[in-house]
A and B are shown apart, each in its own frame.
Chain A
Amino acid sequence: MIDQSRIRNFCIVAHIDHGKSTLADRIIEKTGLLTNREMQAQVLDNMELERERGITIKAQTVRIIYKAKDGLEYIFNLIDTPGHVDFNYEVSRSLAACDGAILVVDAAQGIEAQTLANVYLALDHDLDVFPVINKIDLPSAEPERVKNEIEDVIGIEAQDAPLISAKNGIGIEEVLEAIVEKIPAPGGSRDNPLQALIFDSVYDSYKGVIVFCRIMEGVVRKGTRIRMMATGAEAEVVEVGYFGPGQFIPCEELSAGMVGYLTASIKNVKDTSVGDTITDAARPCEAPLPGYKKVNSMVYCGMYPADGAKYPDLRDALEKLKLNDASLNYEPETSIALGFGFRCGFLGLLHLEIIQERLEREYNLDLVTTAPGVIYKVHKTNGEVIDLTNPANLPDPSEIDYMEEPVVSAEIMVTTEYIGPIMQLCQERRGRYVGTEYIEATRALLKYDLPLNEIIYDFFDALKSRSRGYASFDYEMKGYEESKLVKLDILVNHEEVDALSFIVHADSAYERGRKMCEKLKEEIPRHLFEIPIQAASGGKIIARETVKAMRKDVLAKCYGGDITRKKKLLEKQKEGKKRMRQIGNVEIPQSAFMSVLKLDED
């Protein structure tokens, strides 16, 4: 039996790029679980996309054994968490399964916006947090300054923080010892009724849903009849086990304090909603665990198969992705321009991009995506309130009393020399200044309230470029505020293209309308006739461009009877046609629907 006092359940939190995943790899490596050769670049980021982007998307968990200096063996359950602001929800889930957290701070960069956000999240979960200073081998490292910063800004003890270089394997022993010393052993008793928190799940086509759980009280083993307390679903446990690096390792039982998985031939992922509590159906616990706040989708867009016949494939692919990504939402919708597709909800724009890329790569789908938008609240004159996710569904203006848009509280950490440009950026994005806190003489934390729809497109990129990469950014939902919003419609050859409509603040309607028209003019090929492209708002045309009629398109010299080459040219022209959408008598290339997402890249 495993001695509960020798279990440590912890996670690593950090600002993106401060070396969280590298440290995780070193810990796994040091504890001898894998040889160097077995370690892929980073063990825990195992999705192809995660490696490419250098970010963690899905929480990953691994159990390792560490022989400490006191001569005893300890079980570490390391739960890696996503670093990006879009995935706070995942972070929150992972934290609930832990008893402590390692805070990684870059010795050169010091505290960043996400450092703060994540550390506060950990403290909210009552986790014991201890800092380590990473990248001390960098010439620009200032460990003493960073230690003081941690103490001043976060208010946790940092003087004896391990100074490490995860990349070069310096100081890892110290971190391992600190885990033993500073992270508390889990509480709970194996004699109490079963109480386990579901913190994640994946779908396996052979085993059904694999539930990741932290056992708070009691024991679960093969044959235990379990009940999911929120959904009421019951099932018999087929297998329990723990997480080896990149694999599931079955074991006898999971008892209080342990982190592991169970399978119970559960086919429907909805039965095991993340955050729910598992108990023993025969001997239930009194109350479920608090669980955690369910995070709602913040960004919506329409996703359509480029080839209409692939609609069932897209549906199947979304279903499969949803199994492993509870934060993805979708429902069918129809567009006159794009046919059958789905309105999909995401945690943020990065989440959207990742889902889109996974659909394209892993499921080999060719997608047309409409402009991402947020959920607006439409207050109708009859008192009804609509959550608007698709601009095409906006009621007639005469029925609208007023509209509200989501606003976030944003914190931007920036060196003082860039405060000016960043403040200007926030003003341009309709930001409302809340305040400035100076972290130290040269760095400040700017606080702004910003409309969500102003930051979902390219705010992050703009922030990076205007601060030469020095600003960092985090936000959380604040609530809804009334706003002067209008719907912008695009008319191609006098026909409205529903998939191109979007909601915009009245003050920027003209500017955006003009840019849309310019962009579409580049994208829509010439036809036999002239095509007006118009932007309209509230029944008024506010911008117009014209695609001129096709006048000349002649093949050059046909050289030495090389017909094959000329035919290829014609085929290319024809192939282009296939990727077109017919709106009235105009053919619009699919790229046009995407290009309007990039209006600000000038």
Chain B
Amino acid sequence: MNEPTPLSIYIHIPFCRRKCLYCDFLSFPAAEDEMSHYVNLLLREIEQQADRYVSHKVISIFFGGGTPSFLNAEDIAAILCKLKDRFDIAKDAEITIEVNPDTVTRDKMERYPEAGINRLSIGLQTADDEELKTLGRLHDYAAFCKAYELARNAGFKNINVDLMSAIPGQSAASYRATLEKVTAYAPEHISAYSLILEEGTWFYDNRDRLQLATEEEDRQLYEMTKQFLESCGYHRYEISNYAKDGYECIHNKVYWQRGDYVGFGLGAASMVGDVRWNNCDDMEVYEKALLSAQNGLTCQRNLHSLTKQEQMEEFMFLGLRLTEGVKKADFFKKFALPIEEVYGETLKKLRKDGLISEGDPIRLTPYGTDISNYVMAKFLF
């Protein structure tokens, strides 16, 4: 019998109590009955799709949002129950849920592990209450502390904390304080991003009124992240992700290593066998598609079978995000071509500019990491 192919599952929960001012993800506030209706649709989608993955084994599940912890714990349990029922899930599968401090309760925290969740990702962003207000978050730092303690008490051994730098009004000192406070809790994993203004957000529309970090300040905070977290025993395994040994996020790495993953829920993205698609992002359309699936309707959109060139591009610009880099042998194994034959000139030029390392595997140098967009764009045909 063939070895089953590893599969990751992403579940999108598009609901939030209120949208944060910088957020351009697919999320919106909703009433309780809307949410339970959505969960029913999700269950239906999983049911309809599961048969396509009989030769896959699930290695990770990720509840993202929006705010998955905004749902009742029963709903989360029901979704996991359905997944377990219809998928072959590895015993040691990493099962993560994103939570916001303002939506967790002791009850939820205790039910998550019962349902099978073994990893928690807490959206903190900053330990400074003023900065939290600026971002439009609905919790303060104390709420995070409480949530964190509830999580540990409930037995969570793998916790991620999301942090953000370059928040309007944030000083180097306040950012350092955030790093100090958070590392004092010793979470296993920290995701650290710089604020990016995305079109369609309140921040973007009001950018002239915001006290945005200058480029130099942004860079300074970014440098501080690296140095501080590394000095605390976190290693940077991906451009924005730091972990203690043995706690790299499996689900996250699947994206960069181009493993198969399927997304369920509104707007969720999937890639299976070098075919990409995403679900529609309109709730009515999503609902209609799922309720009329017997009539051939589908919520899947933009189905695209990646060309060889596109696969190569992705292989490079995704693979280079990881500090372990890309192995020449892996490239050859996948494409039956030596990497030099395809990207020889690009690699030579990037090496000369000191942006990627010599030898094998190919890695971004620290400078290359700092300007990774520039480097990655070079691998597009």
One of B142-150, B191-199, B203-211, B289-297 contacting the partner:
B191-199
Q: Are B371 and A550 interface neighbours, CB within 8 A? A: yes
Taking a contact as CB atoms closer than 8 A, the residue among A551, A564, A571 that contacts B276 in the complex is: A564
Query: B239 — which chain A residues lie within 8 A by C-beta?
Result: 554-555
**A550: B residues at CB distance < 8 A:** 371, 374
Are A557 and B372 interface neighbours, CB within 8 A? Answer: no
Task: Name A553's contact: one of B198, B270, B373 (CB within 8 Å).
Answer: B373
A336 at interface, CB cutoff 8 A:
no
Chain B: minimal CB distance from A567 (Å): 7
Q: Is the CB of A560 within 8 A of B353?
A: no
A552 with B218: CB separation less than 8 A: yes
Cβ–Cβ contact B261 & A561, under 8 A: yes
User: Within residues 458 to 484 of chain A, which ones have a CB less than 8 A from any CB in chain B?
Assistant: none
Could you tell me if A570 and B380 are in contact, using CB atoms closer than 8 angstroms?
Answer: yes
Which of A551, A552, A560, A570 contacts B317 (CB under 8 A)?
Answer: A570
Roughly how many angstroms separate A550 CA and B370 CA in the complex, as a whole number? 9
Q: Does B325 reach chain A (CB closer than 8 Å)?
A: no
Residue of A nearest to B375 (CB): A553
Contact of B196 among A556, A560, A564 (CB under 8 A): A556
Q: Are A561 and B255 closer than 8 Å at their CB atoms?
A: yes
Complex CA gap A567/B374 in Å reads 12
CB of A558 closer than 8 Å to a CB of B: yes
In the complex, the answer to whether B268 meets A551 with C-beta atoms within 8 Å is: no
Instruction: Tell me whether B314 and A552 are in contact (CB under 8 A).
Output: no
B-contact bits for A542-580, CB 8 A (1 contact / 0 none)? 000000001111111111111110010111011001000
Least distance between A403 CB and chain B CB atoms (Å): 44
B278–A552 contact, CB under 8 A?
no
B159 CB-CB contact with A under 8 Å? no
Residues of A410-457 at the interface with B, using a CB-CB cut-off of 8 Å, are none
B111 contacts the other chain (CB 8 A):
no
Kindly state the separation between the CA atoms of A551 and B366 in the bound complex, as whole angstroms.
11
Q: CB of B302 within 8 A of chain A?
A: yes
* CB of A72 within 8 Å of the partner chain: no
B137 beta carbon closer than 8 Å to chain A: no
Report chain A residues within 8 Å CB of B215: 551-552
Within 8 A of A (CB), among B272-323: 276, 278, 302, 313-314, 317-318
- Give Cα distance in the complex from A551 to B239, angstroms: 15
B362 beta carbon closer than 8 Å to chain A: no
- Establish whether residues A570 and B196, one from each chain, have CB atoms under 8 Å apart when the complex forms: no
In the complex, chain A residues whose CB is within 8 Å of the CB of B276: 563-564
Known: A560-B12, A563-B314. A573 touches B302 (CB 8 A): no
Q: How far is the CB of A494 from chain B (nearest CB, A)?
A: 19
Which residues of B (215-270) have their CB < 8 Å from a CB of A? 215, 218-219, 222, 239-240, 254-255, 261, 263, 267-270
Given A528-B353, A558-B255, A561-B271: A553 and B261 within 8 A (CB)? no
Q: How far is the CA of A552 from the CA of B355 in the complex (A)?
A: 12
Given that A554-B370, A555-B372, A570-B377 are contacting pairs, would A561 and B222 also be in contact in the complex, using a CB cutoff of 8 Å? Answer: no
A558-B255, A563-B255 in contact; A569/B263 too (CB < 8 A)? no
Q: Encode contact with A along B348-381: 1 for CB under 8 Å, 0 otherwise.
A: 0000010100000000000001111110110010
Residues in B neighbouring A564, C-beta threshold 8 A: 269, 276, 278, 302
**How far is the CB of B146 from the nearest CB of chain A, in Å?**
25
Interface size grouping (class) on chain B: 35 or more
CB distance from B122 to the nearest CB of A (A): 15
Tell whether A552 pairs with B370 under 8 Å between CB atoms, given A561-B269, A571-B380: yes
- State in angstroms the CA–CA spacing of A563 and B313 once bound together: 11
Q: Is B15 an interface position by the 8 A CB rule? A: no
In-complex Cβ contact of B219 among A551, A556, A563, A573 (8 A): A551
Residues of A within 8 A of B373 (CB): 553-555, 569-570, 573
A561 to B194, Cβ gap below 8 A? no
A564-B278, A567-B313, A567-B314 given as contacts; is B377 within 8 A of A556 (CB)? no
Among A552, A559, A574, contact of B25 (Cβ-Cβ < 8 Å): A559
Question: B66 to chain A: closest CB distance in Å?
Answer: 10
B64 within 8 A of A: yes
Kindly state whether residue B10 has any CB partner on chain A within 8 Å. Answer: yes
A561 lies within 8 A of B240 (CB): no
What residue in chain B is nearest A577 (Cβ atoms)? B377
Inter-subunit contact B25/A553 (CB<8 Å): no
Q: Is the CB of B374 within 8 A of A553?
A: yes
Contacts of A563 in B (CB 8 A): 255, 269, 271, 276, 314, 318
Given contacts A557-B191, A563-B314, A563-B318, contact A552 B371 (CB under 8 A): yes
In the complex, chain B residues whose CB is within 8 Å of the CB of A561:
10, 254-255, 261, 263, 269-271
Contact string against A for B residues 33-66, beta-carbon threshold 8 Å, 1 for contact and 0 otherwise: 0000000000000000000000000000000100
CB distance from A473 to the nearest CB of B (A): 37
What residues on A are CB-neighbors of B194 within 8 Å?
554, 556
What's the least CB distance linking A562 to chain B, in Å? Answer: 4
Closest to B12 in A: A560
Nearest neighbor of B313 in chain A, beta-carbon distance: A567
> Bound complex: CA of A557 vs CA of B191, how far in Å?
9
Distance, CA A554 to CA B192, complexed state (A): 12
Q: Do B219 and A560 touch across chains, with their CB atoms under 8 A apart?
A: no
Evaluate contact between B193 and A553: CB separation under 8 angstroms.
no
CB distance from A258 to the nearest CB of B (A): 63
Point out the residues of chain A lying under 8 angstroms from B198, CB to CB. Answer: 556
What is the distance, in angstroms, from A527's C-beta to the closest C-beta of chain B? 9
- Cβ contact within 8 Å between A557 and B240: yes
Give the residues in chain A near B317, CB-CB below 8 Å. Answer: 567, 570
Known contacts A570-B377, A573-B374; is-contact A554 B271 (Cβ 8 Å): no
With A528-B353, A553-B370, A554-B240 already in contact, the answer to whether A574 and B314 are too (CB < 8 A) is no
What is the bound-complex CA distance between A577 and B263, given in angstroms?
A: 34
Q: Which residues of B contact A528 (CB under 8 A)?
A: 353, 355, 371, 374
Is the Cβ of B372 less than 8 Å from the Cβ of A553? Answer: yes
Nearest chain-A residue to B25 (Cβ)? A559
Kindly state the separation between the CA atoms of A562 and B279 in the bound complex, as whole angstroms.
11
CB neighbours (8 Å) of A560 from chain B are 10, 12, 64, 263, 267-269
Do B376 and A570 touch across chains, with their CB atoms under 8 A apart?
yes
- The docked-state distance in angstroms from the alpha carbon of A556 to that of B198 is 10
Chain A nearest CB, measured from B312 CB (Å): 12
Using a CB–CB distance below 8 Å, which chain A residues touch chain B? 528, 550-564, 567, 569-571, 573-574, 577
27 contacts between A and B (CB under 8 A): A553-B373, A554-B239, A554-B370, A554-B371, A555-B239, A555-B376, A556-B240, A558-B255, A560-B10, A560-B64, A560-B263, A560-B267, A560-B269, A561-B255, A561-B263, A561-B269, A563-B255, A563-B314, A564-B276, A564-B302, A567-B313, A567-B314, A567-B380, A570-B377, A571-B377, A574-B377, A574-B380
A-B pairs with the 3 shortest C-beta distances? A556-B196, A553-B373, A562-B269
